[in-house]
Each structure stands twice: as C-alpha cells, then as structure tokens.
Amino acid sequence: MTDLIIIGAGPGGYKAALHAARLGLQVVLFEDAEVGGTCLNVGCIPTKTFVHAPSFEEAVQRQPLVVAQLRGGVETLLSQPNITLVRERASFVDAHTVASASGQHYTAPNIIVATGSSAKLLPIPGADLPAVVTSTELLQQKELPRRLCIIGAGVIGMEFASVFQRFGAQVTVVEYLKECLPMLDGDIAKRLRKLLEKRGITFHMGAGVQRIAPAAEGSSASVVFEKKGKEEAVEADLILMATGRKPVVSEDFAQAGFDFDERKGIAVDDDFQTTVPGIFAIGDVNGRQMLAHAAEMQGIHVVNRIAGKEDAICFEVMPAAIFTEPEAANVGPSEDQLKAAAIPFECHKAFYRANGKALAMAETEGMVKLCCEPGEGRILSCHVFGAHAADVVQEVTAFITLGASLQQLRDTIHIHPTLSEVLVELN
C-alpha cells in the first residue's frame, strides 16, 4: 500500500511525483520507456535542439547528448526515498490496484494516469510507405532529405518546416485548412506563413491529401492532394505526417471503471478527476490541453488536491509557443474568437520594426496583437510572432492571470532596450 500511484513518467507524471514526495507522500511511479516522456525524448527538447543548431550535422550529433543529460537529471531527482520508480508497464486490476508487467500488484487510494499521446496518422492509402515518418522518426534521420513534404501546418509541421528549410532541404507543406496554425490569430498566422514563403518554403493551403503514391523514378514517394477541385502531387524523398496527436489509452482502463474514449481520451472534471473518485488523468491523455507545461501544472494541482493543499493555478490562462524562425506565441482567444463569442473588446497592435532592441538584433520581422476590454481595460489575449515571442507572451500571461488592465501594463516600467518594450508601444 502506498499513498499515490502514477502511471507515466513524462513531464506531468514525474513532476507530480516530485511534488508529492516534497509533500511527504509515498509514490510509486511506473514507466515502461524512458523517463521524461515524449517531450524530453522525442518531442520538445530534441526539436528545440534542431531549432538552435547551426547545421543538420551538428543537430544530429548534439541531440542525443542533450536528451541524455536531461534524462539523467530526471532520473537523479526520481531516486529519492519517497519515490519508487518501476520500469515496467502498468495495468489496472481495479480502481485502486495496478499490476506491473512482471505480475506484482500495487494499491493506493489515489492514482494518476499520465500516459501521454502518440502521433496521429491520416487513414489514407500509402500512409505505411517507408518514406512516411512521424516527428519521432524524422528526428532520428542521419541524412538531410533533399526534398521534405510535410502534411499538416500545425505546430509540429511548422516547426519542422522552418528548421529543415534552414538546413537546406526543399520543403513543401500541404494543409487542409485555409491557414496555418489555427490556434493563432489569423493575421499573425498569415504574416508568419508569408515570411516563411519568402524564405523558400512552399505552402499548399486548402489542400486535402488523398493518398501517398509509391516511389516514382527519382523520388521516394508522392503526396497526392486535391486543391480547388484539381488533383496535384508533390514528390519528396521523405514525408512527415504532422497531423496531430491522440491520447494513449489502454483496454485495461475499463477495469478501473472510469469513462474514456480512444479519440478524446479520459473524461475528467475541472480538478482532473475521472468519473471514478480517487483516479485522476493529467496531460495529453485527458485531451484538454496537449502541452507539456499544461501537464506539469495539472499534475501539481492534482497532488495539491490529494494533499489537501490549496493553489490558485488558472488553467483558463494557458500560453503556448511555436518555435519557428521567428517564433510565434499566444495566450487567450484570438480576435476572431472574441468576435464569434460576441465579447466586447478593443485591439492594439505594435511592430518589431519600431523596437530598438529588434533593430539592434536585426530581427525586425514581427508583430504583437493584444486584445483587451474597451477603454484599455482588462487584458484578454496576446498573439505574437517575432524574435523571442514566447518571452513576450509570458509577460502578458502574468498580467492576464492577475486580471490586470492594459493601462497597468503601460504603467509598468520596462528595461531599455528590450524586446518586451514592444508591449508599451501598442497603439
């Protein structure tokens, strides 16, 4: 008998384990792969290593070193006495019992499911061809593809498009929607896409992929899509399927009795408790906010609830970033979403080209769009593209969380010269 069982040692799971141990709880943490989950091993961290590497060769060489160092740090943290790391797959026996792959049973009054997500593939002919890869396989390539076709212009697709074009690959992006990055303000997304087009990336928007054809002479495969009623094709040496992710659920979840769905994940309430008291689901598996930092904070909140500790984490204010070149980031609803919801607002804009630090850095491509209540009232959202966009949005996230107004943001002294001064230059 232990205080808490956690299934999955990704960002949500291992951070929850560490927080619980700090609060004096005894934790059993299951992980049948590497600690750190998708984010550390085949997602956020390897991708950012590619983003910041000057060449493909250096990225390939440095990536495993960065991952190994961070993974080693996590394993060291998890070696403390209050945490038992079981490196096996866990399966539910009942609502309070979990069995390891070797047959040992563990019981606890509280269980957190943090099994994460996996790549979602389009169910089209040719999706299983050798030339088709997910982000995991793309990060394992040892040779730079001459021609890379990316299906999907979401976060994963856009980040890889940006970095592989910089490495020297010929990059084509095929997207079903009319614009990239649907979570971003439409104006911001369009400006970013146009900038990437100028740098040499070809975009086919409003294009529905029909199939992936076997290799023709001189190519590995062809992506066949329909655009404006006409069928077109793009030949590529490698094809990245970047069409989203799906929660990792298991048939044994039924033994615990909580509601779950293969497409939507595990159903939870606002405290991330499932339909069975004492069982919680955090991170990608609950399908709410598929972000590593969301998983971490959900885990902390759940542990606080188990320990009877109050917190003021505001999950309605969730910042996100896209590490293209330049970056893009956002927090809160877009201008179009505010209009659709009939929420009164006013919109303010500022451009990097008028910012002294941006000029000094030769990073003048960028724009900030901030929405607030009328009369420079409470800040509602901020969408940005440009150098260090994530840092700019992070500042605004703090203001939104505290319910601050645009006037209060303007009254806050900003260091000069910094990119964050763009926030007080909003017109």
Q: Choose among 119, 94, 427, 134: nearest CA to 279.
A: 94
Query: Is 19 marked active-site?
Result: no
C-alpha to C-alpha distance for 381 and 333, rounded to whole angstroms: 6
C-alpha to C-alpha distance for 125 and 212, rounded to whole angstroms: 6
Active-site position among 301, 383, 388, 416: 416
C-alpha to C-alpha distance for 176 and 216, rounded to whole angstroms: 24
Q: Choose among 257, 204, 191: nearest CA to 234.
A: 204
Show the tokens assigned to 200: 């040499």
> How many Cβ atoms sit within 10 Å of the Cβ of residue 80?
12
Edge to edge, the sheet with strand 207-213 lists 207-213, 221-227, 230-236
- Longest Cα–Cα distance of the chain, Å, equals 65
C-alpha to C-alpha distance for 155 and 189, rounded to whole angstroms: 11
| Cis omega (within 30 of 0) for bond into 417 | yes
> How many Cβ atoms sit within 10 Å of the Cβ of residue 11?
30
CB within 8 Å of 52: residues ≥ 6 apart: none
Go through the chain and tell me how many residues it has. Answer: 427
Positive or negative, the CA dihedral 224, 147, 321, 297 is positive
Catalytic residues: 416
